[in-house]
Structures are given as C-alpha cells and as structure tokens.
Structure 1
C-alpha cells in the first residue's frame, strides 16, 4: 500500500513508519521540520504545515490510506488534533483520497465493555477531569472525521507505553476492551497497519488494548 502518515516523528508515528516499511509499504511521512527518520528507498519525507489543506494535499494525492497519529502535548486547552483532522479531511476531499485512520483516546467514552469501576469511577471521575483538554480535542477530531466524506476508522487507545511490543493486541468494535488499561505504542502501530488493510473497519470505532 501507499501510506501517508501524519505525526510520523512522534513516538507512535515513528513505530508506524518503521513497521510500514518493514512490511513492504511505500510511506510518505509528513513532518513539520527537522527529523531523525532514517533514509529508506520506500520512504518519502515531506515538510508541510499540517494545518494548511493546500500545503498537505500533495502529500496525500497518491495515498491508498492516510493515517493521522497527531496528538497534542499541551496540558492546557488545545485544538491541535481537531484542527489537523479538519485540514487532513479537507485535503483528502480535494484530491479524491478516501481512506483515513485516526488515533483517538478511549478514556473519554465509558460504557459497554468497561468493568464497573472503570465505567463509573476511573473514566468519569479520574481520567475525564485529569485529561479534559486533550480529550475534548480528541472528541473534536473524531467529530470532524465523522462529518467528512472520507472512509474513516477511529481507533480509540488507552494509556500508551513505550514498553516492548507484546506481539498481540485485543480489539472491540463500538465498545470498550474489558480491562483494556494500556497498550504499547509498537502494538498500536501494528493494529493501525492491520486496520489499513481491513475494509470491514470502515465507519467503525475500534477500541484497542494489550
């Protein structure tokens, strides 16, 4: 596949780039400036302003799938994820590319699949207040994606870790992964690549965890 990856220099995006290349895909990595991505014959690195649809349209034009791994590192109010999702979906529409996979967060949605303590205490009373700014931004990115005309898959992940990959992960469609507390970034990257090749995941919210 031809993949365009936004957030390619982030900790999750970096794993995604490496795994995609190892699997034989052609990768366009969109970066904001200086980067440490190693040269590879199937890797094209493009510097672009992800908030400008016109600037990123050329990075998307030939893609089979676009993967948005952008998240904010700000602790206060932020709209980085929302604004980038709006720009990416607009750029995709302008060049006729439809397949998009967006990383989001599972802490915002408490419900089916969660154990009682997580559903009624951990998520609403601990995680929601603690992460409210980033979760609000993720909610905006999800809504922007759903409102677009793209063939989207939204992947909701729990706490991300830099631990070595377990080589497996659990998923749940339109519900939480029971006791899905965390996932390694490398396993999350593997899940994203698997979903990119799975048309059955289009227009679904996929929760993932180790």
Structure 2
C-alpha cells in the first residue's frame, strides 16, 4: 500500500513510519527540511503542510493517510486539517488515522463536554487540546473513514502491548502511555475498521 504521512519527524510519526516501512509499504512523507532517515520505500517531499499544493502533492497516488502533526503552540494542525480533508475528497482517498490527545475524549465528569472542557484533565493550558478539538470537529463533519487515537501523558518508551483502549473515552484511571505503544496501536488501525468514525482513548 502507498501511505501518506504527516508528522514523520515527530516522536509518534517516526515510529509509525518505521512500522509501515518494515511491513513493505511505500510512504510519502511531507517534511519541513529532511526526513528522519533514508529508505528505498520512503519518498520525502520538502514543503509546508499549511500549503494546499504541498498537501496535494503528498497525497497523490496514496491510499491512506496518517497524521501525527504536533501542535507546538502553533495553529499548524487546525490550518492543515482542512487542506488534508479537501485533498482527500478531491483524490477520493477515504482512510485517515490521526494522533490526537486525551483532552478531546468525552468527559466523564461533565457529560456532553470534552475532557479538557469538563474538568477531567489537570492541565491548565488548553491550547493543544483546542487545536486537536478543531481537527476532530472538522473530521466529524465529513463522511471520511477517520480514526483519532487519543493518548494521555506520552513519555518516550518502547511498545509493551499491555495497554487499555476505550472508544471515545479515556480508560478509567489511565495516566500515561508510551510513544511506542501509541504508534503501534495507531499503525494497527490501518487494517482495523472497528474504530472508524471514533476517537480512541489509550492508556495503561
């Protein structure tokens, strides 16, 4: 399969990239300067995810998309998602798997609100959650086959495999999940239709 990947130089994105290449997929990655490494099945496109022509070039000829775009106190994610959605529709690509944050899962404390709005999260700064929420709301309005993987606190670490998942909620008592397990679970969704049209909370 030919896969488009945004955020390939980030912690989760690079892990997803390695999984895809190890499985023999071809990957087109949009990067700002240079890819994290070279590989015969990796085509790196240097560009700006906030420019429609660069997004369209990355999606050309692909069948599915992974987005691991970080927020980094910028509006890059909310600027990029409309461009990705428009390009997907134009090129008739249906499947997109994105990395979100636990803040955009449903609140257990305040039904009808998201965790970052309902007081479930201890985080005082909500900018990142607001960016991810904007991306979620955009995808939610489409008929695309989207899945948003929503990790809680995300330390570096390998994939252990002993995590818990829950559709649209953070598993009860979940405090953290490694980068490795987040990437592994997200990558597995490429062949798994179970969570299409859903957010998925992941934690130990």
Could you state the TM-score of these two structures normalised by the residue count of structure 1?
A: 0.85
Q: 2:136 aligns with which of 142, 146, 152?
A: 142
Supply the distance in 2 between the matched residues of 1:171 and 1:207 (Cα, whole angstroms): 5
Cα distance change of structure 1 residues 158 and 80 upon mapping to structure 2, 3 Å threshold: same
Instruction: Give the SS at the match of 1:199.
Output: coil
2:13 corresponds to which residue? 13
Asked if 1:133 corresponds to 2:127, the answer is yes
1:56-67 matches, within 5 Å, as 56-67=55-66
2:95 corresponds to which residue? 99
Supply the distance in 2 between the matched residues of 1:197 and 1:3 (Cα, whole angstroms): 13
2:112 corresponds to which residue? none
Q: For structure 2, which runs of at least 5 residues remain unmatched after alignment?
A: 110-114
1:161-180 matches, within 5 Å, as 161-180=155-174
1:87-126 Cα deviation digits (max 9, x unpaired): 111111121111111111113445349xxxxx89x94462
2:26 corresponds to which residue? 26
Matched positions, count: 198
Supply the distance in 1 between the matched residues of 2:34 and 2:79 (Cα, whole angstroms): 22
1:39-50 matches, within 5 Å, as 39-50=38-49
Could you state the TM-score of these two structures normalised by the residue count of structure 2?
A: 0.88
Supply the distance in 1 between the matched residues of 2:101 and 2:77 (Cα, whole angstroms): 11
1:159-200 Cα deviation digits (max 9, x unpaired): 111123213432111222122211111111111111111123
Supply the distance in 1 between the matched residues of 2:77 and 2:43 (Cα, whole angstroms): 23
Q: Which has more helix, going by share of residues?
A: 1
